[in-house]
Structure 1
Amino acid sequence: MELFTIDTILPIASGALFITQAVYYLGLYNKLYTHSRETAYATDINTQNPPLSVIIVAKDATHELQENLPFILEQDYPEFEVIVIYDRPADDCDNTLKLLEDKYPNLYHTFIPDSARYISHKKLGITMGIKASRHEWLVFTEPDCRPQSNQWLKQMARNFTPATEIVLGYSNYEKVPGWFNKKITFDTLLNSMRYLGMAVSGHPYMGTGRNMAYRKTLYYKQKGFVSHLNLQRGEDDLFINETARAHNTRVEASPESLMRIAMPKYKRIWCEEKISYAATSRLFHGTARYLMGFETCSRFLFYTAIIATITISILLHQWTIAAIAVLLWLARFTMQLIVFRKTAKVFGERKFCALLPLFDFLQPAWNGVFKLQRKFRRKNEFMRK
């Protein structure tokens, strides 16, 4: 009689994969929630509110600037400037920014020249903004983003300690009705739990330009974006990947620091962002991307093993093993639901109760599609132009 058969290997594999998933959820994904609770009573914070510069690079975003800039310019912060660099000048944008400058003396703007060729306009715009800034601390966001309170800058600035060079914040899409909105808010929440959780754990590996800050001296020390200047993107995730370390990076996870992103006008805009991320994430240094890939792989294998175990156990009338497999799935779902609900509650996100198993199962599939699309794209599509 064989010791290891398919009906014994599958339950063992299911148990091992359940333990793997538990390590990720309790040891990593739960970090963002626990960090937000701990920092609510933190004592190692900066209360000086040093002057800072907010830098925004915009393109085809006149309406977004009209809607969102006042929420940034009216922050409850003692001294700050907002610098808008607009790609491809347009009369309506120039007029909008001039009108806002009449009302807000700390707003400044300029345009990326039409003569700029063979260089990423996003990186050029950021560089122009950094060189024009007057302050050491630089805070970055985008024109389609709106802070959810007038304490956003204060919450980010409380992390500006002498040892800190980078501060990573949380952002997610606005909540509106519709399947697509549910899908992308879930995807963004999960990815935030990943990269912010890793940063809290002392292993930062990326950031997003929608809500982050770093020192001007760090930018110059790194020589800007020179190491990936040939790429169209990477001004946020690759730059942070190269410079972030456990000793110089902090995470701001208070509800007051939340940045809410406007829904994309078209679904393809979000898809292009995901494909671009698939192109830059391949270049991450360190083991973080492999650890995240391993979680996705173990999740897929867990579902496969559970379904196979239940199916074979029913066919063989092994009801006890089938019941154990169901209990393993229920235990993982309960653990996942608790972690997601607690984190979602902090940031005012959906709880995803009924949709959680579905999105959890489909998320590796749609990210796999984006990676596949990236492979079929021409290399020069991701190069500066």
Structure 2
Amino acid sequence: MEPLTIATILPAASGALFLTQAVYYMGLYSKIHAHNKETGTSRLSSDYPPLSVIIVAKDATDELQKNLPFILEQDYPEFEVIVIYDRSADDCDDALKLLEDKYHNLYHTFIPDSARYISHKKLGITMGIKASRHEWLVFTESNCRPQSNQWLRQMARNFTPTTEIVLGYSNYEKASGWFNKKITFDTLLNAMRYLGMAISGRPYMGTGRNLAYRKSLYYKQKGFTSHLNLQRGEDDLFINETSNRQNTRVETSPESIMRISTPKYKRIWCEEKISYMATSHFFKGSARYLMGWETCSRLLFHITIIATIVIGIWLHQWIMAGIALLLWILRFVMQLLVFRKASKDLGERKFYALLPVFDVLQPMWNFNFKLQRMMRRKAEFLRK
């Protein structure tokens, strides 16, 4: 290929990829900030209906003792908390009985040891739903703590007559260290994706760490029967199948945020990411491909910008190299502004210096998780 042809193609490709990225950042990732400005402190529902909070736990005595009081002491008129624990060697039963003596709206049961050939998480959620007394169900996990005592009120303000699903925001507690910065960035970016899509009227997934839906929706969908053979999928796949523009709302106010304890070991987070890769393969609709194209176009943008600058310097085409550098700066400024607003709204780090680094590394992490998922046997992701 002639140098002149390269000098023509590379700047054009850089410009096209810059525009692609601009569409994602300005049209999708900026949605959370716009949504927060629009909803503010407004109340969409006219009342606060009674609700049931459902938590499935395993080997989580310390987590439950630490986090359950923050849930049980929510400022909400009427609610119950149902804990279903996967029977294990710890003292979870004794700890829950002690908490029940203090909090009379707490109830618990356990998944029997005899349960086989079905995901214990799905079985636990099903048991909790059947035991619940109320139409509205709110889900979280044992390692999660609401950021305020207004969590349930903020979620419930979205319980309108037409609403069946409310998607909330969750992220890890801020702590020192590279690993914590890495997982909080990754979680923030993924939330900006799926919550942004839901705000745009195209919901495609949710996370069981901060999620609400109607009991009638669960029964209408016949629970998790469509993906009962999978070990995971009790939240993301269920929402993928049932959510639409009319029945789904998003809650991202500061008072509604759920904080997750940082995993003790890196492998715990890695296993969660690999499991997500396994279930996301079954997502219906075009969202999975749209998100994949954002990641792909991001990497291509960086590659073409570097190639354009190098070729421009080599050919003494200073204008070409300067335009490429300008496009990179413009994208970084746009990215910085969008992340700054979203981070401020959600109480996250601003990621100023780390933003360009994580911007390149995050697609590589995901690619590594996909490779690990492909290298494993399919049976590892099936119920057992």
TM range (shorter): over 0.9
Structure 2: runs of 5+ lacking an equivalent = none
Secondary structure of residue in 1 paired with 2:158:
coil
Aligned to 2:283: 284
CA contact (8 A) 1:173 1:261 kept: yes
CA contact (8 A) 2:21 2:298 kept: yes
CA distance in 1, matches of 2:331, 2:90: 55
Aligned to 1:383: 382
Please show how residues 5-154 of structure 1 align to structure 2 within 5 Å.
5-42=5-42, 45-90=44-89, 92-154=91-153
CA distance in 2, matches of 1:67, 1:77: 20
Q: Cα distance, 1:4 vs. partner?
A: 6.5
Please show how residues 232-243 of structure 1 align to structure 2 within 5 Å.
232-243=231-242
CA contact (8 A) 2:59 2:90 kept: no
Secondary structure of residue in 2 paired with 1:98:
helix
CA distance in 2, matches of 1:343, 1:47: 28
Q: What TM-score results when the alignment is normalised by the length of structure 1?
A: 0.98
CA contact (8 A) 2:229 2:382 kept: yes
Given the superposition, is the C-alpha separation of residues 336 and 127 from structure 1 closer, same or farther in structure 2, using an over 3 Å criterion? same
CA distance in 1, matches of 2:307, 2:121: 48
CA distance in 2, matches of 1:347, 1:16: 31
Segments ≥4 residues shifted beyond 3 Å: 1-4
Per-residue CA distance 1:271-320 (angstroms, 9 max, x = gap):
00000000000100000000000101100110010000000000011111
- The aligned amino acid for 1:104 is Y
Q: Cα distance, 1:89 vs. partner?
A: 4.2
Secondary structure of residue in 2 paired with 1:5:
helix
CA contact (8 A) 1:89 1:112 kept: no
Q: What TM-score results when the alignment is normalised by the length of structure 2?
A: 0.99
CA distance in 1, matches of 2:361, 2:48: 43
Given the superposition, is the C-alpha separation of residues 236 and 199 from structure 1 closer, same or farther in structure 2, using an over 3 Å criterion? same
CA distance in 2, matches of 1:250, 1:9: 43
Please show how residues 177-192 of structure 1 align to structure 2 within 5 Å.
177-192=176-191
CA distance in 2, matches of 1:3, 1:39: 53
Secondary structure of residue in 2 paired with 1:271:
helix
Superposed CA RMSD in Å reads: 1.2
CA distance in 2, matches of 1:90, 1:215: 33
CA distance in 2, matches of 1:368, 1:351: 25
Does structure 1 residue 256 correspond to structure 2 residue 255?
A: yes
- Count residues in correspondence: 384
CA contact (8 A) 1:313 1:322 kept: yes
Q: Which moved more, 1:31-40 or 1:85-94?
A: 85-94
Q: Cα distance, 1:127 vs. partner?
A: 0.1
Given the superposition, is the C-alpha separation of residues 3 and 269 from structure 1 closer, same or farther in structure 2, using an over 3 Å criterion? closer
Aligned to 1:205: 204
Secondary structure of residue in 1 paired with 2:167:
strand
CA contact (8 A) 2:75 2:149 kept: yes
Structure 1: runs of 5+ lacking an equivalent = none
Secondary structure of residue in 1 paired with 2:91:
helix
Aligned to 1:326: 325
